[in-house]
Amino acid sequence: MEEITLTFPQPLNVSVQVGDTAYFTNDVNGENIAKLGVITAVTTYTITVLVSAFVARPTSSSFILFSKTADVNTSGLKGYYAEAQFKNDSTEYAELFLVGSEIFESSK
């Protein structure tokens, strides 16, 4: 494993962070995307990526993209419970079309 540093002419997306996975493609249509490695350092114009010796390297014309790790970057309501109340004060006919919720175990 070795670290390579990629330098960009424009400031990086503000959401890129250490631990994200970097990918690249040389294909104009983006059909062949290759995993580069895990991002180990980020500055305004550079990312440093931990790359396996067997992984192809991007060129200066490659399109670089990144993804977040799903186990760390999740969102949703946090807390012990939620309560909702729906009220209709109208005398006209009304229909509730859809109500959704999200439930997950946040701690044990």
Domain of residue 26, residue span = 1-96
DSSP letters, 9-57, are: SSPPPTT--TT-EEEEE--TT--S-EEEEEEEEE-SSEEEEEE-TTSPP
Task: Please state the pTM of the whole predicted model.
Answer: 0.64
Q: Check whether 72 has a pLDDT greater than 90.
A: no
Between 2 and 74, the more confident residue is 2
| Residue type (1 letter), 82 | A
Question: Is there a domain that residue 5 lies in?
Answer: yes
**Per-residue pLDDT, 23:** 95
Q: Answer yes or no: is pLDDT of 107 > 70.
A: no
For the chain, the domain total comes to 1
Residue 107 inside a domain? The answer is no
Mean pLDDT (the chain) is 85
pLDDT at 108 > cutoff 80: no
**104 located within any domain:** no
**pLDDT(8) > 90:** yes
Spatial CB neighbours of 53, under 8 Å, sequence gap ≥ 6: 1, 2
Residue 103 resides in a domain: no
Whether 105 is in a domain gets the answer no
